[in-house]
Chain A
């Protein structure tokens, strides 16, 4: 029974993580708690290890196509990790309902802007290329080379602090909040936004996983099983990512964001 749960959860988390650029904690934590009766603290610690593994493997596969913007990812990682540190301290002072409210408002604004983007004219990347910066990069999308130049980097940096704070307090993955920031504020197409978010998650999840590992909360055997299975999921996810277009990816992402928000409302 356990092996089947590890296989299904590992493949699913790897698939979703690599396709959408999220860590996969949204899937791993409830599955470990619900199916295997793992205490929530241990489930979070174990899921942080798998989040790191999913993101590392996704980054390996996505660097080939230029889907990971390393300079931008590094810069945003600073503010996100600092946001996590501030958020954890704020979480001890502020009531959880206020923070959940903040997440829902933030998620609603981001969902609305992504839905609006779905029906609006696509971003004119050539126009945006007039503001070239050190973050300008190209990637391969279904045989074509697309060049983009991230916009409003200072605002993205500021919002990343906020995303880091919320993920630090509520334990929701940074990717769910980071990708809409990259896509709607920085005007980065969803595929490189996902790849860059994977790089940010490597650092945020890796640090938290190390901290839990030191305190002995990590369940090693389930983590090892999940690491083996998620390889298949990541491989499938990146194969699908090569074929899917930005609109379909945006619809999928909005659906995941709504699910996470609904879960928080009915918790």
Chain B
């Protein structure tokens, strides 16, 4: 497996495991102690939607380290486009 494949796989795996743990904890707590559930459920959703941006940051750093400037630029360009979309709320 190439370096970028490993980076993508492990970053996504850690992020998704965290999401799943928080979601499961939130769902269980919603039956046992509803006042504590909201925090974990919100955290699970926040982690999964922040994951693409974290991934892009890491990919930019990995490509710069490899001196692969074309793809570092590509990842940075997506990061910029994604940021514009989030800030302007364009998709709504």
Contacts and interface: CB of A to CB of B under 8 A. Distances in A.
B18 to A, nearest CB: 11
Interface string B69-92: 001001101100110111001111
Nearest to B74: A74
B71 A71 contact: yes
Given A52-B49, A211-B89, A227-B19, A81 B82 contact: yes
Interface residues of B, number: 47
B61 interface: no
B91 A88 contact: yes
Given A70-B4, A218-B45, 19 more contacts: A60-B9, A60-B16, A66-B5, A77-B74, A81-B78, A81-B85, A88-B90, A88-B91, A89-B90, A203-B78, A206-B82, A207-B81, A207-B86, A210-B82, A211-B85, A227-B20, A227-B23, A228-B20, A231-B20
| B interface: dominant SS | helix
A127 interface: no
B20 to A, nearest CB: 7
A214 B38 CA distance: 16
Interface of B: 1-2, 4-5, 8-9, 12-13, 15-16, 19-20, 22-24, 26-27, 30, 38, 41-42, 44-46, 48-53, 55-56, 59, 71, 74-75, 77-78, 81-82, 84-86, 89-92
Nearest to B63: A74
5 smallest CB-CB distances across A and B, nearest first, come from A206-B52, A208-B91, A207-B82, A224-B23, A81-B81
Given A71-B71, A78-B78, A225-B27, A210 B5 contact: no
B91 A207 contact: yes
| A interface: dominant SS | helix
